[in-house]
Amino acid sequence: MEDVLRRHRVEVTGRPDGQPLMFAHGFGCDQHMWRHVAPAFEDDFRVVLFDHAGAGRSDRSAYDPVRHSTLQGYADDVLAILDALDARDVVLVGHSVSSMIAALAARAEPDRFAKLVMVGPSPRYIDDEGYVGGFSEADIGELLDSLDSNYLGWSSAMAPAIVGNPDRPELGEELTESFCRTDPDLARRFAEVTFTSDNRADLPSVTTPTLVLQCREDVIAPVAVGRYVARALPDASLVLLDATGHCPQLSAPEETVAAIAPFVRGDPPVRR
Protein backbone atom coordinates (compact mmCIF):
# COMPACT_ATOMS: atom_id res chain seq x y z
CA MET A 1 0.00 0.00 0.00
CA GLU A 2 2.69 2.49 1.06
CA ASP A 3 4.54 1.58 -2.12
CA VAL A 4 2.11 3.53 -4.23
CA LEU A 5 2.75 6.62 -2.08
CA ARG A 6 6.49 6.28 -2.51
CA ARG A 7 6.30 5.59 -6.24
CA HIS A 8 4.24 8.72 -6.86
CA ARG A 9 6.17 10.94 -4.44
CA VAL A 10 2.98 11.62 -2.53
CA GLU A 11 3.28 14.61 -0.17
CA VAL A 12 0.60 15.10 2.48
CA THR A 13 0.47 18.44 4.32
CA GLY A 14 -2.10 20.61 6.11
CA ARG A 15 -4.61 19.45 8.70
CA PRO A 16 -4.36 15.71 9.26
CA ASP A 17 -8.07 15.55 10.16
CA GLY A 18 -9.12 17.94 7.38
CA GLN A 19 -11.08 17.10 4.26
CA PRO A 20 -8.69 15.65 1.65
CA LEU A 21 -7.83 18.12 -1.12
CA MET A 22 -5.74 16.56 -3.85
CA PHE A 23 -3.93 18.50 -6.57
CA ALA A 24 -3.09 16.69 -9.82
CA HIS A 25 -0.59 18.23 -12.23
CA GLY A 26 -0.94 18.10 -16.01
CA PHE A 27 1.27 17.12 -18.92
CA GLY A 28 4.72 18.71 -18.86
CA CYS A 29 5.70 19.31 -15.28
CA ASP A 30 5.09 17.92 -11.81
CA GLN A 31 3.53 18.62 -8.41
CA HIS A 32 5.58 21.79 -8.02
CA MET A 33 3.12 23.42 -10.40
CA TRP A 34 0.92 23.86 -7.32
CA ARG A 35 3.52 25.41 -5.02
CA HIS A 36 1.85 28.87 -5.02
CA VAL A 37 -1.67 27.49 -4.64
CA ALA A 38 -1.61 24.44 -2.39
CA PRO A 39 -0.27 26.21 0.75
CA ALA A 40 -3.35 28.48 0.77
CA PHE A 41 -5.49 25.46 1.68
CA GLU A 42 -3.28 23.86 4.33
CA ASP A 43 -5.09 25.51 7.26
CA ASP A 44 -8.37 23.78 6.48
CA PHE A 45 -7.60 20.76 4.34
CA ARG A 46 -5.48 17.65 4.27
CA VAL A 47 -3.55 18.63 1.14
CA VAL A 48 -2.28 15.81 -1.10
CA LEU A 49 0.29 16.34 -3.87
CA PHE A 50 1.80 13.68 -6.12
CA ASP A 51 3.65 13.12 -9.39
CA HIS A 52 2.01 11.18 -12.18
CA ALA A 53 3.82 8.03 -13.32
CA GLY A 54 6.69 9.05 -15.58
CA ALA A 55 6.63 12.68 -14.41
CA GLY A 56 8.71 14.67 -11.94
CA ARG A 57 10.46 12.44 -9.46
CA SER A 58 8.02 9.56 -9.62
CA ASP A 59 9.69 6.16 -9.47
CA ARG A 60 10.49 4.75 -12.90
CA SER A 61 8.76 1.54 -11.78
CA ALA A 62 5.47 3.44 -11.41
CA TYR A 63 5.23 3.65 -15.19
CA ASP A 64 3.67 0.74 -17.06
CA PRO A 65 3.41 1.07 -20.86
CA VAL A 66 0.11 -0.81 -20.93
CA ARG A 67 -1.57 0.73 -17.88
CA HIS A 68 -0.51 4.23 -18.95
CA SER A 69 -1.51 3.89 -22.57
CA THR A 70 -4.87 5.41 -21.62
CA LEU A 71 -5.92 8.19 -19.26
CA GLN A 72 -7.90 5.58 -17.31
CA GLY A 73 -4.55 4.15 -16.14
CA TYR A 74 -3.64 7.54 -14.67
CA ALA A 75 -7.10 7.76 -13.08
CA ASP A 76 -6.55 4.32 -11.53
CA ASP A 77 -3.29 5.66 -10.05
CA VAL A 78 -5.19 8.56 -8.46
CA LEU A 79 -7.70 6.10 -6.96
CA ALA A 80 -4.89 3.86 -5.71
CA ILE A 81 -3.20 6.81 -3.97
CA LEU A 82 -6.49 7.93 -2.38
CA ASP A 83 -7.20 4.38 -1.31
CA ALA A 84 -3.74 4.06 0.28
CA LEU A 85 -4.42 7.29 2.19
CA ASP A 86 -7.91 6.05 3.08
CA ALA A 87 -9.14 9.39 1.75
CA ARG A 88 -12.94 9.90 1.51
CA ASP A 89 -15.06 12.93 0.64
CA VAL A 90 -12.18 14.07 -1.56
CA VAL A 91 -11.90 17.37 -3.42
CA LEU A 92 -9.78 16.73 -6.50
CA VAL A 93 -8.22 19.63 -8.39
CA GLY A 94 -6.90 18.63 -11.80
CA HIS A 95 -4.92 20.83 -14.15
CA SER A 96 -5.07 20.41 -17.92
CA VAL A 97 -5.15 16.69 -18.79
CA SER A 98 -5.64 15.86 -15.12
CA SER A 99 -9.09 17.43 -15.41
CA MET A 100 -10.08 14.47 -17.55
CA ILE A 101 -8.14 12.09 -15.31
CA ALA A 102 -10.20 13.51 -12.43
CA ALA A 103 -13.41 12.99 -14.41
CA LEU A 104 -12.50 9.34 -15.08
CA ALA A 105 -11.59 8.77 -11.42
CA ALA A 106 -14.86 10.33 -10.23
CA ARG A 107 -16.84 8.30 -12.73
CA ALA A 108 -15.21 5.08 -11.52
CA GLU A 109 -15.69 5.80 -7.79
CA PRO A 110 -18.32 8.56 -7.46
CA ASP A 111 -18.73 7.98 -3.73
CA ARG A 112 -15.11 8.84 -3.01
CA PHE A 113 -15.34 12.41 -4.31
CA ALA A 114 -17.12 15.45 -2.90
CA LYS A 115 -16.10 17.95 -5.58
CA LEU A 116 -13.92 18.38 -8.62
CA VAL A 117 -12.07 21.45 -9.85
CA MET A 118 -10.89 21.42 -13.46
CA VAL A 119 -8.27 24.00 -14.40
CA GLY A 120 -8.01 24.49 -18.17
CA PRO A 121 -9.79 21.26 -19.12
CA SER A 122 -10.18 19.89 -22.63
CA PRO A 123 -12.02 16.63 -23.37
CA ARG A 124 -10.48 16.49 -26.85
CA TYR A 125 -7.65 18.56 -28.30
CA ILE A 126 -8.09 17.60 -31.95
CA ASP A 127 -10.88 19.23 -33.98
CA ASP A 128 -13.80 16.98 -34.89
CA GLU A 129 -16.99 17.40 -36.83
CA GLY A 130 -19.01 20.02 -34.97
CA TYR A 131 -16.33 20.39 -32.31
CA VAL A 132 -13.37 22.76 -32.12
CA GLY A 133 -10.58 21.43 -29.93
CA GLY A 134 -8.03 23.86 -31.30
CA PHE A 135 -5.60 21.45 -32.94
CA SER A 136 -5.29 19.26 -36.01
CA GLU A 137 -3.68 15.84 -36.04
CA ALA A 138 -0.71 17.38 -37.85
CA ASP A 139 -0.31 19.87 -34.98
CA ILE A 140 0.03 17.01 -32.51
CA GLY A 141 2.67 15.45 -34.76
CA GLU A 142 4.54 18.75 -34.57
CA LEU A 143 4.29 18.70 -30.79
CA LEU A 144 5.96 15.30 -30.72
CA ASP A 145 8.72 16.70 -32.99
CA SER A 146 9.03 19.63 -30.63
CA LEU A 147 9.46 17.23 -27.72
CA ASP A 148 12.13 15.33 -29.63
CA SER A 149 14.06 18.53 -30.37
CA ASN A 150 13.95 19.67 -26.80
CA TYR A 151 14.80 16.39 -25.22
CA LEU A 152 18.06 16.33 -27.11
CA GLY A 153 19.16 18.49 -24.21
CA TRP A 154 18.10 15.73 -21.82
CA SER A 155 21.05 13.43 -21.43
CA SER A 156 21.11 10.12 -19.66
CA ALA A 157 23.84 11.55 -17.44
CA MET A 158 21.21 13.86 -15.94
CA ALA A 159 18.78 11.06 -15.23
CA PRO A 160 20.13 9.90 -11.84
CA ALA A 161 20.16 13.45 -10.47
CA ILE A 162 16.65 14.07 -11.74
CA VAL A 163 15.09 10.81 -10.72
CA GLY A 164 16.76 11.15 -7.35
CA ASN A 165 16.95 8.72 -4.52
CA PRO A 166 13.65 8.30 -2.68
CA ASP A 167 15.48 7.49 0.55
CA ARG A 168 17.61 10.61 0.51
CA PRO A 169 16.26 13.89 1.80
CA GLU A 170 16.61 16.57 -0.83
CA LEU A 171 17.70 20.15 -0.57
CA GLY A 172 15.23 22.81 -1.66
CA GLU A 173 17.24 23.57 -4.78
CA GLU A 174 17.16 19.96 -5.91
CA LEU A 175 13.43 19.72 -5.38
CA THR A 176 12.78 22.05 -8.27
CA GLU A 177 15.61 20.77 -10.45
CA SER A 178 13.49 17.94 -11.80
CA PHE A 179 10.68 20.33 -12.68
CA CYS A 180 9.58 19.82 -16.28
CA ARG A 181 12.36 17.34 -16.85
CA THR A 182 11.15 13.88 -17.75
CA ASP A 183 12.46 10.77 -19.41
CA PRO A 184 11.95 11.72 -23.10
CA ASP A 185 10.44 8.39 -23.99
CA LEU A 186 7.82 8.63 -21.23
CA ALA A 187 7.10 12.30 -21.97
CA ARG A 188 6.45 11.46 -25.59
CA ARG A 189 4.07 8.65 -24.65
CA PHE A 190 2.21 10.84 -22.14
CA ALA A 191 1.93 13.54 -24.82
CA GLU A 192 0.43 11.04 -27.26
CA VAL A 193 -2.05 9.73 -24.70
CA THR A 194 -2.98 13.26 -23.62
CA PHE A 195 -3.40 14.93 -26.97
CA THR A 196 -5.09 12.09 -28.79
CA SER A 197 -7.60 11.39 -26.02
CA ASP A 198 -11.32 11.96 -26.45
CA ASN A 199 -13.31 12.02 -23.22
CA ARG A 200 -16.37 13.91 -24.47
CA ALA A 201 -18.60 10.87 -24.03
CA ASP A 202 -17.43 10.39 -20.42
CA LEU A 203 -18.46 13.82 -19.18
CA PRO A 204 -22.27 13.31 -18.90
CA SER A 205 -21.76 10.45 -16.44
CA VAL A 206 -19.59 12.49 -14.04
CA THR A 207 -22.11 13.49 -11.39
CA THR A 208 -19.68 15.07 -8.90
CA PRO A 209 -20.20 18.84 -8.48
CA THR A 210 -17.50 20.50 -10.55
CA LEU A 211 -15.95 23.92 -10.92
CA VAL A 212 -14.34 24.69 -14.28
CA LEU A 213 -11.63 27.37 -14.21
CA GLN A 214 -11.00 28.88 -17.60
CA CYS A 215 -8.32 31.42 -18.53
CA ARG A 216 -9.30 34.34 -20.72
CA GLU A 217 -6.77 33.35 -23.35
CA ASP A 218 -5.44 29.81 -23.42
CA VAL A 219 -3.85 28.41 -26.58
CA ILE A 220 -4.17 24.83 -25.32
CA ALA A 221 -7.72 24.90 -23.95
CA PRO A 222 -9.65 27.78 -25.54
CA VAL A 223 -12.62 29.41 -23.80
CA ALA A 224 -15.09 27.62 -26.06
CA VAL A 225 -13.68 24.27 -24.91
CA GLY A 226 -14.01 25.27 -21.25
CA ARG A 227 -17.64 26.20 -21.85
CA TYR A 228 -18.20 22.89 -23.63
CA VAL A 229 -16.90 21.00 -20.58
CA ALA A 230 -19.06 23.00 -18.15
CA ARG A 231 -22.14 22.33 -20.31
CA ALA A 232 -21.43 18.64 -20.81
CA LEU A 233 -21.01 17.93 -17.09
CA PRO A 234 -24.34 17.40 -15.28
CA ASP A 235 -23.37 19.57 -12.30
CA ALA A 236 -20.76 22.17 -13.21
CA SER A 237 -20.20 25.90 -13.10
CA LEU A 238 -17.58 27.90 -14.97
CA VAL A 239 -15.41 30.74 -13.70
CA LEU A 240 -13.62 32.79 -16.32
CA LEU A 241 -10.28 34.01 -14.97
CA ASP A 242 -8.67 37.25 -16.01
CA ALA A 243 -5.38 35.33 -16.29
CA THR A 244 -3.99 34.29 -19.65
CA GLY A 245 -2.05 31.20 -20.63
CA HIS A 246 -2.58 27.60 -19.66
CA CYS A 247 -1.13 27.65 -16.15
CA PRO A 248 -3.00 30.21 -14.00
CA GLN A 249 -1.75 28.48 -10.84
CA LEU A 250 1.71 29.77 -11.80
CA SER A 251 0.93 33.00 -13.63
CA ALA A 252 -1.94 34.15 -11.39
CA PRO A 253 -1.86 32.12 -8.18
CA GLU A 254 -3.87 34.63 -6.08
CA GLU A 255 -6.69 34.76 -8.60
CA THR A 256 -6.63 30.98 -8.88
CA VAL A 257 -6.84 30.53 -5.11
CA ALA A 258 -9.62 33.12 -4.90
CA ALA A 259 -11.62 31.24 -7.53
CA ILE A 260 -11.14 27.78 -6.02
CA ALA A 261 -11.58 28.69 -2.33
CA PRO A 262 -15.32 29.56 -2.16
CA PHE A 263 -16.21 26.45 -4.17
CA VAL A 264 -14.17 23.96 -2.14
CA ARG A 265 -14.97 25.61 1.22
CA GLY A 266 -18.69 26.06 0.61
CA ASP A 267 -21.30 23.38 1.14
CA PRO A 268 -21.56 21.09 -1.82
CA PRO A 269 -24.44 22.17 -4.05
CA VAL A 270 -27.49 19.93 -3.91
CA ARG A 271 -27.29 17.28 -6.58
CA ARG A 272 -29.85 17.42 -9.31
Partner 1 sequence: MSTDAAADAFYAALLDDDAERLYERAPCGYVSTTPDGMLVKVNATFLDMVGREREDVVGCLSFTDLLTAGGRIYHETHYAPMLRMHDRVREVAFDLVRPDGERLPVLVNAVLERDSDGRPRVVRVAVFDATHRREYERELLRAKRRAEQSEHRAQALAQTLQSTLIPPSPPALPGLDVSAGYRPAGDGEEVGGDFYDVFQIGAGDWVVVLGDVCGKGVEAAVVTSLVRHTVRALTVQEPRPSEVLRSLNDVLLAQGSDRFCTVVLVRLRRERGAWSATFCAGGHPLPLFVSAGEVLPVGAPGTAVGLLRDVELSDQRLSLAPGELLVVYTDGVTEGRRGSDFYGEQRLWQSVLAHRDAPVPAEEILGEVLAFQAGNARDDIAVVAVRVPDPSDFAQDPRREEHGHEQQPSG
| Footprint on this chain of partner 1 (rule: CB under 8 A) | 26-29, 32-33, 96, 135-136, 139-150, 152-153, 176, 179-180, 195, 218-220, 244-247, 250-251
Report the length, in residues, of the chain.
272
Q: Least CB distance from residue 195 to partner 1, whole Å? A: 7
Q: Least CB distance from residue 244 to partner 1, whole Å? A: 5
> For residue 249, which phi and psi values (nearest 5 degrees)?
-65, -20
Of 83 and 148, which has the nearer Cβ to partner 1?
A: 148
Of 15 and 36, which has the nearer Cβ to partner 1?
A: 36
Per the annotation, the verdict on 68 as an active-site residue is no
| CA dihedral over 185, 190, 192, 193, signed as positive or negative | positive
Per the annotation, the verdict on 246 as an active-site residue is yes
Of 73 and 120, which has the nearer Cβ to partner 1?
A: 120
The rounded distance, in Å, linking the Cα atoms of 249 and 35 is 8
Of 13 and 251, which has the nearer Cβ to partner 1?
A: 251
| Catalytic-labelled residue, pool 51, 77, 202, 218 | 218
Per the annotation, the verdict on 128 as an active-site residue is no
> For residue 202, which phi and psi values (nearest 5 degrees)?
-80, -25
Q: Least CB distance from residue 90 to partner 1, whole Å? A: 25
**Residue 267: count of CB within 10 angstroms of its CB:** 5
| Catalytic-labelled residue, pool 96, 98, 122, 178 | 96
Q: Residue 143 CA to chain centroid, in angstroms?
A: 19
b/e map 149-167, b = 16+ CB within 10 Å:
eebeebeeeeeeebbbeee
Which of 174, 168, 234, 178 has its CA nearest to residue 55?
A: 178
Q: Least CB distance from residue 8 to partner 1, whole Å? A: 19
Of 109 and 174, which has the nearer Cβ to partner 1?
A: 174
> For residue 239, which phi and psi values (nearest 5 degrees)?
-120, 125
Q: Least CB distance from residue 251 to partner 1, whole Å? A: 7
Catalytic residue numbers read 96, 218, 246
